[in-house]
Every structure is written in structure tokens, then in C-alpha cells.
Amino acid sequence: MEFLNKLVDISFKKDLQGRPLFYPWGYWGSGFIVEPESKQDQIRNFLKNIYTASFIIPLVFLLASSSDSLLQNLIAASLLILLPLLLWYYFSVKNLTKDFQKTSEKLTFSEVSKKSGQLYSLKSLIFGEVGSLLFVIAGAWLFGRGGEEYVTGLLSIIFFGFAAITYGYMIIVKLRHR
């Protein structure tokens, strides 16, 4: 549960007046001043629910898939549930923040990476980096095979390439703050 709480913390920060700010789209989007502060618990519970669902649903698909095409099934299952989860997230966030004032204060990539890096040990970050790079290699292999698998390979390269960059940055931040 501690991990989930820290994961949710990434979407929040305090402004100079000490008010909680919520960034539903991370550093890509605008933040909202959470007033009254009691709404923060409602947002946190929603985020915990969506994070749990986004982990459990692909896991169920993965466990139900055949082992001969495990990577393809995992990527396909993740893409299959991505749209409904994004729609659920979008409309829920829109409803949760409808009465909130937007803030001009931005959440930076550096702030997110620092908080994210605190979630994991250095060993876990290195494991994530290596795993992401292996998935990039697997995606390149699928892409190189051509045929119907090239799209899956390309998506794997893009997604896990971004993950590898993010893990690498978190490793650097973690090493600097030792």
C-alpha cells in the first residue's frame, strides 16, 4: 500500500501558499488547486483504483494467454484495455476537477523523476532499465520480422524506449542524491 500511496503522490505537489496542486496529466498538462483540501482524498482514492485496474487487467490477460506468443499477447492486451482506462480516467478527472481553479505553476519532468526515483531502490531502477531495453530489442526483432508483427514491434520500441529513457533519468537523479 505504501508503494501505491507514493505512486499517487507523483500527481501532487504544494504551491508557495501550501495549497495542494493536482496534475492529472503529469508534466504534460495543467495543474489544479485542490480546494477544499478534503477533495484530495477523493482524488487519491480514484488514482489508486485506476492504477490497480491498469495493473491487474493486463496481468489477467497475460496469465490467460498462451506462452508461445507471450510478448504479443501482453502488448495486445495492454492496448486493448488502454482506451477504456483512458476514457474512464479522462471523464473522471474532468468530473473531479470541474470546480477547481487551474494553476499556472507547472510540474516539471525533474520533479516527477525525483519523486518516481524515490519509489524504487537503485536495484529496481536498474532492473527496470535492463527490462525496458530487452523489450526494445524484442520489439526490434518483431519489427524486423515484418508481416503483421511489425506494428507490435514498433509500438514496443516506442513505449519501452520511452520507459528506458525515463528509467535512465531516474537512475541519474537517484545517484546524484545519494
Residue-level pLDDT at 150: 80
Cβ neighbors of 114 (< 8 A, separation 6 or more) are 173, 177
- Phi/psi region, residue 61 (left: phi>0; alpha: psi -120 to 50; beta: rest), is alpha
For the chain, the residue count is 178
Side chain identity, residue 143: F
Please give the full DSSP string across the chain, using - where no structure is assigned. Answer: -HHHHHHHHTTEEE-TTS-EEE-TTGGGS-EEE-SSTTHHHHHHHHHHHHHHHHHHHHHHHHHHS-GGGHHHHHHHHHHHHHHHHHHHHHHHHHHHTTTPEEESPPPPHHHHHHHHHHHS-HHHHHHHHHHHHHHHHHHHHHHHH-GGGHHHHHHHHHHHHHHHHHHHHHHHHHHHT-
Q: How far apart are CA 79 and CA 27, in angstroms?
A: 23
Domain boundaries, given as residue ranges, for the chain: 1-107, 108-178
pLDDT at position 74 is 66
Q: Which three cell numbers stand for residue 158?
A: 516506442
Tens digit of each residue's pLDDT, the chain (178 residues): 677 888 888 899 999 999 999 999 988 889 999 988 789 999 999 999 988 887 776 666 666 655 566 666 666 666 777 778 889 999 999 999 999 999 999 998 888 878 887 778 899 899 999 999 999 999 999 888 877 778 888 888 999 999 999 899 889 888 887 7
- Tell me the per-residue pLDDT of 7-28, one tens digit each, with 9 for 90 and over: 888 899 999 999 999 999 988 8
Find residue 33's DSSP bridge partners.
21, 101
